[in-house]
Every structure is written in structure tokens, then in C-alpha cells.
């Protein structure tokens, strides 16, 4: 009787084990990882600040390798903006163009499956991104970037990836607002079309491929506030929400461009749930979608469960094999950024630029006027908080002084348009003050109306690279007056009178000259189509190159503020400067 009982229990146990093992039969576990807006942060070292980084593509690769060991299938995607930011990409964009591009070598080594073009990749110019299309072992996507002659996508519109019986479609879109920022020669022969209309055009084509999963890979931000779900703006910079809502068919949309990590489920116009993921920027995060497929199918598609998460890359050490593989490139770039081009008699900082004239911005002003021979220069602090120390100046310091690869434009503006341009700039920068206790700078505010403190710091409402001041003219900005009535231009610095009805030559970077920031269009009131007619000339290289060459030719510089403008009442500014510097930078000035 006892033997029979044991035998019966054994059979039940075996049946249970078999049932459990069969319950997982036919399931496939897939992870899809996204990097985006890496901006050249490849190695765990900041070649501009010359210090170690705790997050980089080297650490991302440690996590990627870990996931690949544990999942049936792993796919690796990138959402663009890789070709601008750190000297390690600038060097291979423009200095050494004969060796394989560093970005291509890295991404091929990491095993990417697809990448979407970003606006800063277009900024590098045809020679760079056309070259990378050939060097990548994976497709560069961008369905809404059309060849003007053929009307077909300049880059591949989508890619079908098949791994272990699972078919995945990856569809790429780039922000169509590129013409608002970049000079036409950088994207000659290409026009950028509306994201929603392009997605509607291609979705039936993609679904005809009968994929198990449809992924959007969009270099465009996720913003579903203020009516962004409605399709009203054909050149919307951040159109991901409009596509997600208005074009059913996507299971997952990876986005980027706005540098804001996102992980949320979203219900589209058809009532279907879409997972939205954004991997942030500068290799600090990874976006991960985890999908479990079953053998059962509904309407020809595998049933699946989809979840998302954002990975903190700093939690992982740099991959040793990665570091060893790219040590030769590290040495080359390190030597490049440490090349001495001159010396400076003083330390300069972008911090001073928010309260009045600064040697930091005025160095750019002086060189812009010198190169162009213009009457007036417009420039802003392109980096929020950087410093170039007294003494030796290196190539790396130029990436602090001038962050972006902008061309230098010479444009024609009337005196009245110059006045309105400056009014617009200071309206985005400074509050109207009723007394010395009021805030001078436009900071992000909390619900209580006080500056919002995040990570122990206050933050500007606007970007510092939109805070344009002028050189070549003397003027005051009276912050006791209403916006639009603050700027009083006294005359030119060389003594000439300033005439609002006369046309003048103005030096300005190409981002601004193409409408970026709205200073020309919303401020000066010049129609977007009119801007091209106002362009007198453009440099053929980025402005950083000319600044570097200027310093190299002089060998030594003595940077001092030009002191051609000031904010008044000055006593109010001094009080605000002390308290608001402490909020922004953690110091008292």
C-alpha cells in the first residue's frame, strides 16, 4: 500500500513539472535597446573639460552585453545626433577624413541594427553623413528626408529585422524643423516633410510586410501638451505625440532630440496602447523595451507583452574590451585637444554673460566683427556654465567657447529690425522689475511663484544660447520698463550715429540666421522666406575653426569685456546678481 502511494505521488510530481515546463514552450523573450542624442560621449572621458565621465557608450556596452546573454533576441537601435558635441566626433568629421570614422567603428563594433539620422548629424554636412551611410554596417533611416529630384527618401525609410522567427519593422523619422536652424548647403538636394503625413504614407507599406512588431525610431521629442496631439504644424520640431496619436500601427515608439527620458504607455486614436520610450542624452541613459512573444497569433501576429524601462548607465562600469579596442583613438583625440594654440592673460567664464558684458561672449563678438567687417555682431553664451582658465589655451578650450558647428553669416538688417531683435532677446532673458527685490533673470518657477530648485540649482526658462547681446553699438536695457520698450541704442561704438531707417551689415551665426530662436522672425518681424534674401555671405567652415585660427595667429590674447551695453537700474542688477548667481551656480558673486 505504501509503495503504491509513493508511486502515485511521484507521478503527480512529474506531471506538475511537465506542466510547468510546457507552459513556457513557444515563448520568446526579446529586448530592444535604444541610445539617442549621444553627442559624441563615446569614451568615459570628457575631452572638453578634461575629466573622467561616469557614463559613456563604453558603460552602455557593458549593459548591452549583459542583456544579450540573458535574452533570446536583443536588438540595438540609435536615434541620432551622434556627430556633434565632443571633440572625438569633430576630429573625425573634419580633421581626419581619411581614416574610418570613429562613430562608425564604434557602432559597428557594438552591433547596432538601425539608426535614425538626427538634426546635428545633418549639421555635419553631406561629406560626413553620406560617408557614414557607406561605413555603417546597418541602415541610416529617415523616411521624411526626401531627395528633391526623385521624391524618394534620401535615407532608407524603414528596415525589416528578422531574428529567430520574429519579424520586426523599424521606421525612422527626423524632426522636419531642420531648415529653421541649418544653412541649405548642409542638406542640399534634401527637403524635410511632415512626420504625420509621412507615417501615414508608409504604414500600409510596412504592415504589408506582415511584421510581428512595428517600431517607430523618431529623432523628435515627446510632447503631448498644449494640443500637440493635433496635427496642425507641418514643421513641428517635436512631432512624436502627433504621430503616435494619429497614425495607428506602432507598438513601440522610441524618440529623442529633446533630451528628456520618457517611459510611458499611451493610447492612440484607434484605442491601441503604444509604449513611448526616450533614452535621454549624452550616454547617461538607455531606453529598453522588453517583449515576450507567445506562439499564439491573433490576426496573423504573435501575442505579446510589452514593458519599458530606463537604464541608468552610470550604474555600470566601462567595458574593458571596448576601452582596449578604442585606446588608439583615445590617444589621437587626446593629443588633438591638448594642442596649444595660444595663451590668455585672464580667466573667462560664461557666468558673467547673464548680467552684462562679458569677456567670454565679447571674444566671440570681436572675432565675428573681425572676420565679416560687419557693423554689428550678435552672439550668445552657447554653453550655460563653462570657464577658460588664464594661461595656456588649447584646441579643447575652443569647444567650451563655441559649442556648436555653426557657420558665420553676414546679413542685412535695418536699424529698426536691429532694435526689435534686441528687444526680443532681452524679453526672453530678463524680467520686468518693479524694485530691487524682484527677480532679474527669467527662471523656471514653481507653483508658489518662487524659483524652482532642481539638484540644488535654479534653471533658466529659456536656453542660454538664445541670450543674444550685441557688439558694435552702445545701448542700455532698462528692466524697469515693459518688454519691447527697454532697449535704447545710443549710437555706434566708433562714434557713428545709429539710424533706425538705415540698412546695416550684421554678423550672426547660421543657427540664428536661419530663424533659430525666433530672433529674426518673431523678434525683428522678418518673414522666414525673406531671411535667404537678407544673407550677404557665409563662411565655408564652422565659426569655431575661425576662432581657433584667430587665436593661433595672435598667439596671446587679453580678453576683456567691451562694456558697450548695460542693464539699468544698475543698483538693482547688482543686488540680483548676488542672489541669482548663488541660485544658478551655488555661489555668491
- Residue 15's pLDDT is 39
- Residue 302's pLDDT is 61
In contact, 311 and 288? CB cutoff 8 Å? yes
Domains in the chain, CATH or no CATH each: 26-333 (3.60.21.10), 340-585 (3.90.780.10)
The C-alpha cell 540698412 sits at 503
Which cell numbers in the block locate residue 225?
Answer: 501638451
Residue (of 48, 111, 37, 50) closest to 81 by Cα position: 37
b/e string for 240-254 if b means 16 or more Cβ within 10 A? bbbbbbbbebbbbbb
Which cell numbers in the block locate residue 95?
Answer: 580633421
Q: Give the bridge partners for 196, in sequence order.
A: none
* 446-477: pLDDT as tens digits: 989 999 988 889 999 999 999 999 999 999 99
- Residue 18's pLDDT is 36
Continuous H helices in 87-194: 87-90, 102-110, 119-122, 126-135
Give CA 552 to chain center in angstroms. Answer: 30
In contact, 36 and 82? CB cutoff 8 Å? no
- Residue 298's pLDDT is 57
The C-alpha cell 591638448 sits at 338
Which of the 8 DSSP states describes residue 452? P
Mean pLDDT by 10 residues, the chain (589 residues): 42 39 62 97 96 97 96 95 96 95 98 98 97 98 98 98 92 95 93 96 97 97 71 79 96 96 94 96 97 70 85 97 98 97 95 96 96 97 93 95 93 98 98 96 92 89 95 98 98 98 97 95 95 93 93 93 97 94 77
Phi, psi of 305 (to 5 degrees): -120, 130
DSSP 313-349: GGGSPPPHHHHHHTHHHHHHHHHHHT-EEEEESS-EE
Secondary structure class of 303 (helix, strand, coil) = strand
- Residue 28's pLDDT is 84
| Separation in Å, CA 446 to CA 435, 453, 501 | 21, 8, 43
Continuous H helices in 178-277: 195-207, 240-246
Q: Give the bridge partners for 475, in sequence order.
A: 489, 565
Q: How far apart are CA 508 and CA 369, in angstroms?
A: 9
b/e string for 72-95 if b means 16 or more Cβ within 10 A? ebbbbbbbbbbbbbbbbbbbbbbe
In contact, 176 and 239? CB cutoff 8 Å? yes
Amino acid at each position: 500500500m505504501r509503495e503504491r502511494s509513493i508511486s502515485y505521488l511521484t507521478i503527480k510530481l512529474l506531471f506538475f513539472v511537465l506542466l510547468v515546463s510546457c507552459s513556457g514552450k513557444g515563448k520568446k523573450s526579446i529586448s530592444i535597446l535604444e541610445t539617442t542624442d549621444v553627442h559624441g560621449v563615446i569614451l568615459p572621458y570628457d575631452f572638453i573639460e578634461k575629466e573622467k565621465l561616469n557614463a559613456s557608450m563604453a558603460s552602455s556596452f557593458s549593459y548591452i552585453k549583459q542583456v544579450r546573454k540573458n535574452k533570446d533576441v536583443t536588438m540595438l537601435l540609435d536615434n541620432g545626433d551622434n556627430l556633434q558635441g565632443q571633440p572625438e566626433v569633430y576630429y573625425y568629421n573634419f580633421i581626419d577624413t581619411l581614416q574610418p570614422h570613429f562613430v562608425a567603428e564604434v557602432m559597428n563594433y557594438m552591433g547596432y541594427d538601425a539608426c535614425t539620422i538626427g538634426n546635428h548629424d545633418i549639421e555635419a554636412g553631406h561629406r560626413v553623413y553620406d560617408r557614414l551611410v557607406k561605413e555603417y554596417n546597418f541602415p541610416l533611416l529617415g523616411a521624411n528626408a526626401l531627395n528633391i529630384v526623385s521624391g524618394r527618401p534620401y535615407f532608407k525609410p524603414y528596415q525589416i529585422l528578422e531574428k529567430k522567427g520574429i519579424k520586426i519593422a523599424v521606421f525612422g523619422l527626423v524632426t522636419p524643423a531642420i531648415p529653421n536652424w541649418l544653412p541649405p548647403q548642409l542638406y542640399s538636394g534634401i527637403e524635410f516633410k511632415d512626420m504625420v503625413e509621412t507615417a501615414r504614407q508608409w504604414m500600409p507599406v510596412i504592415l504589408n510586410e506582415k511584421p510581428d512588431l512595428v517600431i517607430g525610431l523618431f529623432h523628435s521629442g515627446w510632447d503631448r501638451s498644449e494640443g500637440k496631439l493635433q496635427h496642425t504644424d507641418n514643421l513641428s520640431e517635436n512631432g512624436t505625440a502627433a504621430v503616435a496619436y494619429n497614425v495607428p500601427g506602432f507598438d513601440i515608439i522610441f524618440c529623442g532630440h529633446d533630451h528628456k527620458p520618457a517611459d510611458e504607455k499611451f493610447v492612440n486614436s484607434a484605442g491601441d496602447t503604444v509604449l513611448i520610450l526616450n533614452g535621454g542624452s549624452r550616454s547617461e541613459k538607455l531606453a529598453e523595451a522588453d517583449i515576450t512573444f507567445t506562439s499564439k497569433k491573433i490576426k496573423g501576429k504573435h501575442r505579446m507583452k510589452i514593458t519599458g524601462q530606463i537604464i541608468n548607465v552610470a550604474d555600470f562600469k566601462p567595458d574593458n574590451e571596448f576601452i582596449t579596442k578604442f585606446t588608439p583613438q583615445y590617444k589621437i583625440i587626446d593629443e588633438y585637444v591638448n594642442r596649444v594654440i595660444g595663451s590668455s592673460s585672464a580667466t573667462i567664464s560664461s557666468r558673467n554673460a547673464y548680467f552684462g558684458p562679458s569677456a567670454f561672449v565679447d571674444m566671440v563678438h570681436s572675432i565675428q566683427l573681425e572676420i565679416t567687417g560687419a557693423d554689428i555682431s550678435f552672439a550668445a553664451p552657447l554653453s550655460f556654465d563653462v570657464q577658460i582658465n588664464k594661461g595656456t589655451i588649447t584646441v579643447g578650450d575652443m569647444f567650451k567657447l563655441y559649442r556648436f558647428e555653426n557657420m558665420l553669416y553676414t546679413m542685412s538688417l535695418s536699424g529698426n529690425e536691429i532694435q526689435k531683435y534686441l528687444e526680443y532677446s532681452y524679453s526672453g532673458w530678463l524680467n520686468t522689475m518693479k524694485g530691487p527685490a524682484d527677480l532679474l533673470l527669467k527662471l523656471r518657477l514653481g507653483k508658489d511663484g518662487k524659483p524652482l530648485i532642481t539638484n540644488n540649482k535654479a534653471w533658466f526658462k529659456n536656453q542660454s544660447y538664445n541670450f543674444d547681446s550685441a557688439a558694435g553699438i552702445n545701448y542700455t536695457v532698462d528692466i524697469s520698463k515693459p518688454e519691447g520698450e527697454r532697449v535704447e541704442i545710443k549710437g555706434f561704438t566708433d562714434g557713428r550715429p545709429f539710424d533706425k531707417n538705415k540698412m546695416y551689415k550684421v554678423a550672426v551665426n547660421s543657427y540664428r540666421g536661419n530663424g533659430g530662436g525666433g530672433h529674426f522672425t518673431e523678434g525683428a518681424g522678418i518673414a522666414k522666406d525673406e531671411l535667404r534674401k537678407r544673407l550677404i555671405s557665409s563662411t565655408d567652415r564652422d565659426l569655431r575653426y575661425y576662432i581657433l585660427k584667430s587665436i593661433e595667429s595672435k598667439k596671446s590674447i587679453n580678453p576683456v569685456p567691451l562694456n558697450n551695453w548695460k542693464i539699468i537700474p544698475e543698483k538693482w542688477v547688482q543686488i540680483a546678481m548676488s542672489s541669482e548667481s548663488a541660485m544658478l551656480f551655488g555661489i555668491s558673486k
